[in-house]
Amino acid sequence: MSIKDLSKYIVEEYLIDEIERSSMPQIKGNDIPKALNSLKKYGIPYRYKVVQTNDLHPIQTNAIQSKIDNITKKLLRGHDFNPIFISSDWYIIDGHHRWLANKQIGNKKIKVIMIGYPKNSALKLFNKLDNKLNEEMSNITKTVVVLSGRFQPFHKGHYYSYNNLINKFGKNNVYIATSNIHGDKRSPFNFKEKKNIMTKLFGIPANKIVLVKNPYKPEEILKDFDPKTTAFVVALGKKDADRLGGKYYIKYKGKVNKSYLNRGYVYIVPQLQLTIQGKIISGSEIRQHFSKKLFKNLFSKYDDKLFNLMNNKLNENKFNKNNIELDQLILDIRNYNNQLNNKILLLCGGSYGHIDHPFEDMDLTFGDLKIIISLALEGKLELVQEKCIDGNSVINLKKNGNKTIKEIVENKIEDKVYSYNIEKNEYGYEDIIDYANNGQTNEWLEIELENGNKIKITPNHRIYVKDVGYIQAKDLTDDMNLIIE
């Protein structure tokens, strides 16, 4: 299936993420009478016209060539298609494939329905109309949209995404969900502080910002809506979309037909790239290089109290090369060395802190990473207790049956271990790729499962949580579901 690039037709500069095909309204032919009735009901003017094909402007950035070809064949056989919807300033709101098919065979005129609103207003109107028509086809009468995240801190990039959701789904349907997990350098702000930033710096209504245990399963929001007639859409950035796997979540494609009891929809929300002096910056770099100048660039207005709060929080959590906890870093570097050696890793930094690298999510810029690896290679760093599971825990092997972790490590047993593949969403046996004895520790958590089984584990060990992803054991709550068989 080839994708046709429409950018050459675009005669004005747009926010491209707002007009990708997945974000455009898609009014089916059978729904056109319903759409027109809704326009009449709310007093929105429209009229039928026949216009010059070349006078229309697209606002969708891509199209499917095979779909254009199919429409072309039908046009050549004399098929009469429904008119396309356009705005009062001649932009195509719905019907890009029909327009392209007519251009492809040289039709100079095309039937349209012109709405009495200009481009931006017409787009907002039709997105809401599209959602309403989809809901009417099922029992769904309400769609709740939740922008989920840590928001450490909430900034204009997040606000850009929030506004996109409001324009698409309506301000009464959009909520922000975030937890109260805080205290380390990646999460310095508690819920109350995050809420103050959102309300005072961006004017987001306080009742739309909700404290939740799990931002990706916001029961605290959904409990207030009818479980039989309410659909749930979670909004995530493109890089976070893979966090939500399993059978519950599917990608949002413009339609919702199941309630939140049985289905969750993942909407990839457009994001604004944050730049300082032309360089793209990440959330970790905001925390690492926070300043008054950066504050003024990232927030809609200046607030002295909030600046001081953020400055104090972020400065006390800044990276200190003399106080390094290598817990996850050394383990990940060890694994990463299967593909790159330390020497290459030291040389791949480029501009300081502005290029993605394997440890971006640990708040480490390339400069920080180079310092750590250099000190580690010189033997000047002491490895802290690595995360682990109790050595007496029993693991199932394909050839050797049930063995304790201690037995497997001490004897370096070569076998396949029974495990869960999160990418394939299935259980199976995978090769043991490494062995490690992390020594003694007095820091243990004992997790008791509903079936009575117990897991003894260090607080910093990562555990895969269904519909959430990997989190440290110390952050587990009693309403989370582990992958257990």
Of 18, 103, 26, the C-alpha closest to 65 is 103
With a pLDDT cut of 90, the percent of the chain lying above it is 16
With a pLDDT cut of 70, the percent of the chain lying above it is 71
Which tokens go with 319?
């990276």
Name residue, tokens 């966090």.
243
Element (H, E) at 404: strand 401-404
Question: Residue 23 — pLDDT band, cuts 50, 70, 90?
Answer: very low
User: What does pLDDT average to over the chain?
Assistant: 75
Which tokens go with 433?
């790729």
Query: Which domains does the chain carry?
Result: 3-123 (3.90.1530.10), 138-275 (3.40.50.620), 438-485 (no CATH)
Report the range out of 101-105, 343-347, 438-442, 478-482 with the highest average pLDDT.
101-105
Residue 179 Cα distances to 146, 147, 213, 215, 460, angstroms: 13, 12, 5, 6, 19
Report the range out of 145-154, 177-186, 414-423 with the highest average pLDDT.
145-154
Look at strands 454-457 and 445-448 and give their pairing.
antiparallel
Look at strands 279-280 and 275-276 and give their pairing.
antiparallel
Name residue, tokens 């909430």.
154
| Pair 420, 464: CB distance under 8 Å | yes
Q: Averaged over 110-139, what is the pLDDT?
A: 74
| Pair 209, 178: CB distance under 8 Å | yes
| Pair 4, 62: CB distance under 8 Å | yes
Name residue, tokens 């007519």.
102
Per-residue pLDDT, 278? 64
Question: Residue 346 — pLDDT band, cuts 50, 70, 90?
Answer: very low
Q: Give backbone dihedrals phi and psi of 370, rounded to 5 degrees, phi first.
A: -65, -40
The secondary structure of residue 281, as a DSSP letter, is -
Question: Residue 434 — pLDDT band, cuts 50, 70, 90?
Answer: confident
pLDDT, tens digit, for every residue of 32-77?
777 777 777 767 788 899 999 999 988 876 677 888 888 999 999 9
* 333 has a pLDDT exceeding 60: no
Provide the residue type at 45 as one letter.
Answer: P
SS3 letters across 299-314: CCCCCHHHHHHHHHHH
Per-residue pLDDT, 245? 65
pTM: 0.46
| Pair 165, 269: CB distance under 8 Å | yes
Of 15, 115, 110, 26, the C-alpha closest to 64 is 26
Higher pLDDT residue, 248 or 6? 248
pLDDT, tens digit, for every residue of 354-403?
334 444 444 455 556 666 666 666 665 554 444 577 788 888 888 888 98
Nearest-5° angle of CA 195, CA 196, CA 197? 90
* 84 has a pLDDT exceeding 70: yes
Name residue, tokens 């997105």.
127
Q: Averaged over 405-429, what is the pLDDT?
A: 82
pLDDT, tens digit, for every residue of 224-244?
998 888 999 999 887 776 667
Q: Which of 251-279 are b and which e, b meaning 16 or more Cβ less than 10 Å from the residue's Cβ?
A: ebebbbebbbeeebbbbbbbbbebebeee
pLDDT, tens digit, for every residue of 247-265?
788 888 888 888 888 889 9
Q: Averaged over 448-477, what is the pLDDT?
A: 76
* 109 has a pLDDT exceeding 50: yes
Q: How many CB atoms lie within 10 A of CB 69?
A: 15
